[in-house]
Amino acid sequence: MTDDEKLKELLALTRENGQPNINLLWRLAKDLDAVKLNLKFFGYELARQLAAALPPRDGLGFRPIELRSKPSTQADLEADWSRFWSSELHIGHVFHRKVWEFAFVLQVLQQTGALAEGKRGLGFGCGEEPLPSYFASRNCHVTMTELPPEDARAAVWAGSGEYGNLEKSWRPELVDRARYDRLVSFRHVDMNAIPSELTGFDFCWSVCAFEHLGSIRQGMDFIDNTMNTLKPGGVSVHTTEFNFMNDAETIDNWVTILFQRRHFEEMARRLTAAGHLVLPLDFDVGNKPLDKFIDLPPFNHDWKFDQAEAWRGGNEHIKLLCDGFAVTCFGIAAIKDGLGR
C-alpha cells in the first residue's frame, strides 16, 4: 500500500462495516470540513449584512480620489467611488474582491483621462469580464485578448468556463450589439510574448491575469512589456494576487504565482528607471472585519456535497487562502513616460 493509500484509509470517516474509523489522525481531522464551512458561512453572512447596511446613494457620480497602487480593502468597497463603478457596470455592490478590481481599473483610467471617447484600449486575458462592453459604451475602441487555443493553459480556462471571447464579454445592459461589434475586436495573444504590432494604445489593462504566466519573473516582465503597447502618456493598470502575510515564502513557478511586497517594489523600481510614473505604492490591507476574514477552500465551485446547490450563492470575500497563503488583490498602475524623460 502506498503512503497516499495509507493516508486515505486513515482519514476515511468510516470503516467498511460502517463504524467510525477511530484512529489518532481521524480524531484530529474528522471535524475540519465542518469547521471550515462554519467559518466560511459566518464570513459570507457578515459580508452580506455589511453590504445591506450601506446607506443608499442615489445619483452617484464620478469623484476623484488619491490614486495609489494598492490592495483591495473593505474601506474601498464602502466608499462612494467604488459604488459608483458598480452602478456603472450594472452589477450588485457586494464585498467581493472582483468588484474592487473592476472599480480600481475604471477609477484609474477615468481619473488619468484615459477613459474618453475615441481612446484605444488593450485588454489582456479578458475572460468573461464586462470591461470591454463598458469601454465600448464610452465610445472607446478596444482590443480584447485571450491565450491562443493551442496553448495548454487555454484548456484549463476553458474547462472552468473562464476562457473568453467576444460573445462572452458582451453585456447588452451596457452597450447595444451594433456598437459593441463596431468598437470591440478580439485576437489571441500570449501575454509572455506580446506581438510588437500591438502598440499605440491609450491604455491597457488586465484583471487577475498575470499571476498565471508561469513565474514571478515572467509576471514582472509582463508589466514592463505592457508599456511598449502604449503611446506616450498612456496608462497601464493591472490587478493580481498579493501574498500579504508571508514575506519569507511564496508560490513561484506554478499555475498561480503569488507576488509579495518586494515584487511590487521591484516592479515600481523597474518602471521608474525606464522613465514611467508609477502610482505610489500602498500596502495597507485594511483593518476592518472583512479585511480580517480570510476565506478557506474548498470554494463554492468545488463543492461536491448534496446540499451544495442550495448553499452555493453569495461567496463574498476580500481575502482568501491560496495554497496555504493568505492573499488579496493588488492593483498596480503606471503612466508611460510619466517622468518626462
Could you tell me the domains of the chain? 45-54+66-335 (3.40.50.150)
What's the chain's average pLDDT? 93
Q: Single out the residue of 273, 214, 208 nearest to residue 237, CA to CA.
A: 208
Q: How far apart are CA 138 and CA 168, in angstroms?
A: 19
- Is residue 10 helix, strand or coil? helix
Q: What is the pLDDT of residue 33?
A: 87
Average the pLDDT over each of 107-121, 159-173, 274-288 and give the range with the smallest value.
159-173
Asked if 194 and 241 touch (Cβ cutoff 8 Å), the reply is: no
Instruction: Note if the bond before 172 is cis, omega within 30 degrees.
Output: no
pLDDT at 68 over 60: yes
> Is pLDDT above 60 for 341?
no
Residue 93 has pLDDT above 50, yes or no: yes
pLDDT digits (tens, 9 = 90+) for 16-57: 998 898 998 888 888 888 899 899 999 999 999 999 999 988
| List of E strands, 147-192 | 184-188
Give the lowest-confidence range in 26-30, 78-82, 205-209, 322-326.
26-30
Give the residue with greater pLDDT, 75 vs 166: 75
CB 64 within 8 A of CB 330: no
Q: Cα Rg for the chain, rounded, in angstroms?
A: 22
The tens digit of pLDDT for each residue in 301-336 reads 778 888 878 787 778 999 999 999 999 999 999 999
Record the pTM: 0.93
Asked whether the predicted pLDDT for residue 154 surpasses 70, the reply is no
Helix (H, G, I), strand (E, B) or coil at 229: helix
